[in-house]
Amino acid sequence: MRRRFRCGFHREVAGEHRQVANPKRSCESDAAGLDPTFFFPPLGYAWFDIHEGKIASAISWLKKSKDMGAPSFVSAFLGYAYGISGDHERALAEIEEQRKTSRRAYVPAFNLAVVHLGLGETVKALDMLEKAYEANSQWLPWLRNDRVFDGLRKGTTIRHPPPQAAF
């Protein structure tokens, strides 16, 4: 019996082309159903909530994802969410956690850029993004498409814009 997927990418791979009411959330629901202990579905819900302006809900999902043993980028987006919600103390605590983690494991400069962006610290965010560029960060393509980075694209001059980011 063939598994029927509700989310777009998996439907296309499986050869299914039907519409669902909310394909983004149904995709996360599919993933959560397959493995309720995996950190990525709550992260996906948080991402959708951030884009929909539901920051309190996003924070809740990001905390859940982080508690599931998620990689350090989840902590960075939690710091971002705290920052844009006005909870600068918790956002700064996420930066400190990133710094502590960096003593025993690699933490991309991109992570710190995300938190600084949430705090409204554009210059610090740009400094961290330049470090991410120097390190050939795999995260730079997100700069082009993710609305989280809209504030950086408006009126900002990047000294060495990465070609793959294409502000």
pLDDT tens for 6-61 read: 454 344 333 443 444 455 555 656 656 666 778 888 888 898 899 899 999 999 99
Q: Sign of dihedral through CA atoms 143, 148, 149, 153?
A: positive
Q: DSSP secondary-structure letter at 151?
A: H
pLDDT at 11: 40
| Residue owning tokens 């987006």 | 77
Confidence at 1, pLDDT banded by 50, 70, 90: very low
pLDDT at 25: 56
Q: First-to-last CA distance in the chain?
A: 45
CA distance 32 to 25: 10
CA distance 146 to 150: 7
Residue 140 to residues 79, 80, 148: CA-CA distances in angstroms? 18, 17, 13
Label residues 146-166 b or e (16+ Cβ within 10 Å = b). Answer: eebbeebeeeeeeeebbeebe
Q: What is the mean pLDDT of residues 54-69?
A: 95
* Range in 27-31, 60-64, 162-166 the model is least confident about: 162-166
List, for residues 90-129, the tens digit of each pLDDT value: 999 999 999 999 999 999 999 999 999 999 999 999 999 9
